[in-house]
Amino acid sequence: MPSRTATATVIATGTLALAALVASASTVAAASSANTAGAGGGASSQSAVVARAAAVDRCSYQVVRSDDSRYAYSVSAVSADGSTRELPLQKEDFVRIADVWRKVMQVDACAGGRGRALAALRVTGKLEQPEHYEPSVPRTIRSSDVKPATASVIPKAPALKSVDRLEARTVRVTWEPAQGDPDQVLLMETKPFYSSEVGIWHPYTFQRNAPAGATSMDRTLERDPGIPAEVRAHSYWMRAVKDGFVSDLRDEKPVTIEP
């Protein structure tokens, strides 16, 4: 993880999966402890995924979970009779909540015309490329069954009002005041980022913590002549976090500006 991501105000996310590695460190340790306690060689660990859930609306549910980057994850609906069905993914992202990286997944419970109420949600992780791991590494990890909280726990992100150019290299991003007293308001920024490891510019998304009560932030545009035309654009949108849940990812509509 680059050193810039260790600050309280600049938090980089996901296109290089560096955030995923940071998030997975504590989860790997927890999974290891769980495996030692109960799961033998190749057996599944039933509590290796820490998850919580809430309804976003009648059909969409948000699941906030821990992450071990060795696994591919899915979310299943658990019915009152104990039967399960996997739910289609609507959107997902890494978010830093209370200084811990979590993966936020939003899933569709009404896909295929199914609107039946669910009793709980369950997260399952399947080990990717198992041939690269010892048999003692669980091939399947799961969360406990999680009863979703009501939609009232999902915070509302403040509306982004404008992205105004102050001068050639600076823009001011302005948003409406936050409603509902969220724990944190985030200005999301995607911009070109130079990776020294592979020697290329690529789009990279940052989470900028907005100070309490703030409704604007000035940002500097990347204008290096070596940035390829296809990755020059900068995009901004808002996000809110409260009590471990995140505003509806589907409502995020980035405003884009060319440098």
Which range, 44-53, 65-74, 113-122, is most confident? 65-74
Separation of alpha carbons 61 and 55, rounded Å:
4
Among 89, 122, 84, smallest CA distance to 105 is for: 89
Tell me which residue of 92, 103, 75 sits closest to 19, measured CA to CA.
103
Q: Give, as one character, the DSSP assignment of residue 176.
A: P
Q: Is the model's pLDDT at 3 over the cut of 70?
A: no
16 against 60, higher pLDDT:
60
Coil/strand/helix, residue 175: strand
Q: Tell me the mean pLDDT in the region 96-116.
A: 87
Structure token pair of residue 60: 């969409």
| Phi, psi (rounded to 5 degrees) for 83 | -75, 155
In this structure, is the dihedral angle defined by the CA atoms of residues 36, 38, 43 and 49, taken in order, positive or negative?
Answer: negative
pLDDT tens figures, 132-182: 999 999 999 999 999 999 999 999 999 999 999 999 999 999 999 999 999
Backbone angles phi, psi at 230, to 5 degrees: -75, -10
43-59 residue pLDDT tens:
444 458 999 999 999 99
